[in-house]
Amino acid sequence: GAVVSQHPSWVICKSGTSVKIECRSLDFQATTMFWYRQFPKQSLMLMATSNEGSKATYEQGVEKDKFLINHASLTLSTLTVTSAHPEDSSFYICSASRVLGTSGSGPQETQYFGPGTRLLVL
């Protein structure tokens, strides 16, 4: 089946540094990728939608200058947490949208989730 990878899986950094997280679709091309954030014992919160070759669309309340998203190719999207602070510590998950085919109701897409990246800012 389709695989989405994230790198790194774990990162610990000092406050004030920037951290880049990569999301790759390994065996399919993804025109759209999504970035989520999950706080402990809570649900996933959509941060932004990343479209290849264009600017990301951020959800309300998410600082676009804080969380830089680049979707440079059809298989790679990156999330950079700039000047990270302890409150940015979280579990970041990406997903990639794959078109499986078309039906009478239009393109049939499904989402594949990455394994997540756990960020700890000291």
Kindly state the tokens that stand for 29: 């091309």
Tell me whether residue 34 or residue 67 sits nearer to another protein (CB atom). Answer: 34
Is residue 101 near another protein by the rule CB under 8 A?
no
45-to-23, 36, 54, 73 alpha-carbon distances in Å: 17, 5, 22, 24
Count CB neighbours of 42 within 10 A: 10
Residues in the chain: 122
Tell me whether residue 62 or residue 82 sits nearer to another protein (CB atom). Answer: 62
Count CB neighbours of 4 within 10 A: 24
Binding mask 33-72 for another protein (x = CB under 8 A): -x------xxxx-x--x-----------------------
Query: Smallest distance, Å, CB 121 to another protein?
Result: 19
Q: What angle do CA 26, 28, 34 make, to 5 degrees?
A: 80
Q: Which stretch binds another protein (CB under 8 A): 19-27, 64-72, 79-87, 112-120?
A: 112-120
Tell me whether residue 18 or residue 42 sits nearer to another protein (CB atom). Answer: 42
